[in-house]
Homo-oligomer: A and B are copies of this chain.
Amino acid sequence: MVPHLTTAQTAPLLELEQRILDAMPRIEHWLRSQWQEHQTPFYASVDLRNAGFKLAPVDTNLFPGGFNNLNPDFLPLCVQAAMAAVEKLCPDARRLLLIPENHTRNTFYLQNVAALTNILRQAGLEVRVGSISPDISVPTKLDLPQGGELLLEPVQRLNNRLVLDNFDSCGILLNNDLSGGIPPILQGLEQTLIPPLHAGWAVRRKTRHFAVYSRVARDFAELIGIDPWLVDPQFAHCGMIDFQARTGEDCLAANVADLLSRIGAKYREYGITQEPFVIVKADAGTYGMGIMTVKSPDDVRGLNRKQRNKMSVVKEGLQVQEVMIQEGVYTFESINEAVAEPVVYMMDHYVVGGFYRVHTSRGQDENLNAPGMHFVPLAFERSCSLPDCAGRPDAAPNRFYAYGVIARLALLAAAIELEETAPEDERSLQPAGLPIST
Contact = CB atoms under 8 A, between A and B. Distances in A.
Interface of A: 24-29, 31-33, 35-36, 73-77, 79-81, 83-84, 86-87, 91-95, 118, 121-126, 148, 350, 381-387
A273 B93 CA distance: 44
A170 B403 CA distance: 30
B79 A32 contact: no
A87 B37 CA distance: 12
Contacts of A79: 382-383
30 contacts: A25-B95, A25-B121, A25-B125, A26-B94, A27-B124, A28-B83, A28-B123, A28-B124, A29-B92, A29-B94, A32-B124, A33-B91, A36-B87, A36-B91, A73-B73, A74-B76, A75-B385, A76-B381, A77-B77, A77-B80, A79-B382, A79-B383, A80-B382, A83-B350, A118-B386, A121-B385, A122-B382, A122-B383, A122-B384, A148-B386
Residue from the set A86, A118, A385 with the largest chain B CB neighbour count within 10 Å? A385
Contacts of A381: 76
Nearest to A389: B121
Given A32-B86, A86-B32, A381-B76, A121 B91 contact: no
A314 B183 CA distance: 68
B384 A91 contact: no
Contacts of A387: 148
Nearest to A27: B124
Given A25-B124, A73-B73, 19 more contacts: A25-B94, A25-B95, A27-B124, A28-B125, A29-B93, A29-B94, A31-B124, A32-B87, A32-B92, A32-B124, A36-B91, A74-B76, A76-B77, A76-B383, A77-B77, A79-B383, A84-B84, A118-B385, A121-B386
Contacts of A350: 80, 83
A28 B35 CA distance: 25
Nearest to A387: B148
A385 B123 CA distance: 10
Residue from the set A73, A86, A383 with the largest chain B CB neighbour count within 10 Å? A383
Contacts of A95: 25
A175 to B, nearest CB: 18
Contacts of A28: 83, 123-125
Residue from the set A26, A73, A95, A121 with the largest chain B CB neighbour count within 10 Å? A121
B33 A87 contact: no
Contacts of A118: 385-386
Contacts of A35: 87
B126 A25 contact: yes
